[in-house]
Amino acid sequence: MQDTSFAIHPGTKKQLVGENLKDIGAVTSYKVNEGMVNFKTENGYVRILFHSNRTVRVTMNPKHEPTLTTSFAVVEERLRVTPIVSDNENVVQIKTTELIVNVMKTPFRLTVTDSSGKTIIQEINKGLAFNENGEVICFKKMEDNDHFYGFGEKTGFLDKRGEKMEMWNTDVYAPHNPETDALYQSIPFFITLRDGHAHGVFFDNTGKSHFDLKSESNTYSFKAESGQMDYYVFTGPTMKDVLGQYTQLTGTMPIPPKWALGYHQSRYSYETDEEVRQLVNDFLKKEIPVDAIYLDIHYMDGYRVFTFDRDRFPDPKGLIEDLKKVGMKIVPIVDPGVKEDPEYDIYQEGVRESHFCKYVEGNIYFGDVWPGNSAFPDFTSTKARKWWGEKHKYYTDLGIEGIWNDMNEPAIFNDTKTMDVKVMHENDGDPKTHRQLHNVYGFLMGEATYEGMKKQLNGKRTFLLTRAGYAGVQRYASVWTGDNRSFWEHLQLALPMCMNLGMSGVAFCGPDVGGFAHDSSGELLVRWTQFGTFTPYFRNHSAINTVRQEPWSFGENVEKLTKKYIEQRYVWMPHLYTLFREANQTGVPVMRPLVLEYPTDENTVNLSDQFMIGDNVLVAPIMTPTTSHRVVYFPEGRWINYWTEEVLVGNKHHLVEAPLDILPIFIKEGSIIPHGTVKQSTAIPETELTYHIYLGEKNAASYRLYEDDGTTFGYENGATFEQEITCERENNLISISLKESNGSYDPTWIKETFVLHHCEDDLDIIINGEEVDHSQKNYNKLKKSLTFTIDR
Q: 476-531, pLDDT tens digit by residue?
A: 999 999 999 999 999 999 999 999 999 999 999 999 999 999 999 999 999 999 99
Q: What pLDDT, on the 0 to 100 scale, is given for residue 11?
A: 65
Q: Which of 552, 467, 483 has its CA nearest to residue 515?
A: 483
Phi, psi dihedrals of residue 197, rounded to the nearest 5°: -105, 145
CA distance linking residue 191 with residue 160, whole number of Å: 10
> Which amino acid does the sequence have at 138?
C
Q: Tell me the pairing of strands 751-757 and 764-767.
A: unpaired
Residue 509, SS3? strand
CA distance linking residue 60 with residue 228, whole number of Å: 6
In the predicted model, residues of the chain with pLDDT beneath 70 are: 1-9, 11-19
List of residues 6+ apart from 108 with CB closer than 8 A: 24, 25, 26, 27, 39, 41, 46, 127, 128
β-bridge partners, 728 = 700, 735
Q: Which of 205, 203, 230 has its CA nearest to residue 437?
A: 205
Phi, psi dihedrals of residue 273, rounded to the nearest 5°: -55, -45
CA distance linking residue 331 with residue 446, whole number of Å: 15
* Omega before residue 107 within 30° of 0, cis: yes
Dihedral class, residue 769 (left if φ above 0, else alpha if ψ from -120 to 50, else beta): left
Q: Inter-axis angle of helices 522-532 and 556-571, to 10 degrees?
A: 0
Q: Which helix (H) or strand (E) holds 450?
A: helix 441-456
Q: What pLDDT, on the 0 to 100 scale, is given for residue 646?
A: 97
pLDDT tens track for 614-672: 999 999 999 999 999 999 999 999 999 999 999 999 999 999 999 999 999 999 999 99
Q: Which of 487, 542, 482 has its CA nearest to residue 509?
A: 482
Query: Alpha helices, DSSP H only, in 149-307?
Result: 239-250, 273-286
Q: Which of these is catalytic: 171, 406, 567, 686?
A: 406
Q: Which of 691, 719, 716, 717 has its CA nearest to residue 704?
A: 691
Q: If DSSP states are collapsed to H, E and C, what string results for 636-676?
A: CCEEEECCCCCEEECCEEEEEECCCCCCCEEEECCEEEEEC
Does the annotation mark 241 as catalytic?
no
Does the annotation mark 722 as catalytic?
no
pLDDT tens track for 411-447: 999 999 999 999 999 999 999 999 999 999 999 999 9
Q: What pLDDT, on the 0 to 100 scale, is given for residue 761?
A: 86
Q: Which of 223, 65, 41 has its CA nearest to residue 133?
A: 223
Q: What pLDDT, on the 0 to 100 scale, is given for residue 16?
A: 45
CA distance linking residue 202 with residue 195, whole number of Å: 21
Q: What pLDDT, on the 0 to 100 scale, is given for residue 89?
A: 87
Angle at 19 between CA 15 and CA 22, to 5 degrees: 160
Residue 148, SS3? strand
Q: How far apart are the first and last CA of the chain?
A: 67
Q: What pLDDT, on the 0 to 100 scale, is given for residue 1?
A: 46
48, 101 contact by CB (below 8 A): yes
Q: Which of these is catalytic: 273, 451, 483, 707?
A: 483
CA distance linking residue 216 with residue 478, whole number of Å: 36
Q: Where does residue 282 rank: exposed (0-12), middle (13-18), buried (19+ CB within 10 A)?
A: middle
Residue 319, SS3? helix
713, 756 contact by CB (below 8 A): no
CA distance linking residue 134 with residue 18, whole number of Å: 10
List of residues 6+ apart from 258 with CB closer than 8 A: 573, 577, 682, 710, 711
Cα four-point dihedral sign 483, 486, 487, 488: positive
581, 723 contact by CB (below 8 A): no
Q: What pLDDT, on the 0 to 100 scale, is given for residue 12?
A: 52
CA distance linking residue 299 with residue 303, whole number of Å: 8
Q: Tell me the pairing of strands 209-212 and 36-41.
A: unpaired
CB atoms closer than 10 angstroms to residue 68: 12
Angle at 628 between CA 622 and CA 633, to 5 degrees: 55
Does the annotation mark 166 as catalytic?
no
> Quick one: DSSP state of residue 702?
E
CA distance linking residue 158 with residue 497, whole number of Å: 7
CA distance linking residue 615 with residue 732, whole number of Å: 28
